[in-house]
A and B are shown apart, each in its own frame.
Chain A
Amino acid sequence: AQSVTQLGSHVSVSEGALVLLRCNYSSSVPPYLFWYVQYPNQGLQLLLKYTSAATLVKGINGFEAEFKKSETSFHLTKPSAHMSDAAEYFCAVSDSGGGADGLTFGKGTHLIIQP
């Protein structure tokens, strides 16, 4: 069975500082991995996805994530935080690429940006 663990339910960084949101997964097959962002009272927006091509994946809004098989991790980073990055971030895993089965989500990390 798949599972996703997001370390830290809340992460606070200063504006302009590095953002690091942690995600570890378990999967019995080579996984497809996703990061989604959710702004208050809205749906989820896809930030980026890993589909077994390049291990370093670049997404929207300056975010990127690195797939590390040895560490079963897929941490999300952004070099310089902006106030507009304040939101809830979810890591998710799929066996099939996300189009042929339900995604398994982590519990989310609330990102707080300090001015």
Chain B
Amino acid sequence: NAGVMQNPRHLVRRRGQEARLRCSPMKGHSHVYWYRQLPEEGLKFMVYLQKENIIDESGMPKERFSAEFPKEGPSILRIQQVVRGDSAAYFCASSQITYEQYFGPGTRLTVT
């Protein structure tokens, strides 16, 4: 039973480029969450999605960030025109409703 999968594991982008982070939830899970972890900080909630719906995006920066979870395929976190401050580890988690969240290994984004 495969866990939550994220790719790529490491991503390097130059300032101004776009970053696309992918997350495939555990089998049978229909809820996906994205978190960001900055150095020496805990995880900060960004967005909660179900298939084709954004349920809660209260933690998403207002500009440049977007997320989707299409009917088919993985969830995508997209960061446009990246800046150095976007460098962080981005974690995806999935769950069944009312159950605990299971985390993927993360994508470490470095902006040069």
Contact = CB atoms under 8 A, between A and B. Distances in A.
A92 B41 CA distance: 13
A9 B100 CA distance: 25
B104 A106 contact: no
Given A43-B91, A102-B59, A105-B44, A97 B103 contact: no
A58 interface: no
A108 B102 CA distance: 18
A99 B45 contact: no
Contact of A42 (B42, B93, B95, B105): B105
A43 B42 contact: no
A103 B104 contact: no
A97 B98 contact: yes
Nearest to B33: A102
A49 B99 CA distance: 10
Interface in B71-112: 91, 93, 95-106, 108
Contacts of A46: 100-102
Nearest to A91: B42
Given A42-B105, A43-B105, A46-B102, A98 B95 contact: yes
13 contacts: A43-B4, A43-B103, A43-B104, A44-B43, A46-B100, A46-B101, A46-B102, A92-B43, A99-B96, A99-B100, A102-B45, A104-B45, A106-B42
Interface of B: 4, 6, 31, 33, 35, 40-48, 56, 58-59, 91, 93, 95-106, 108
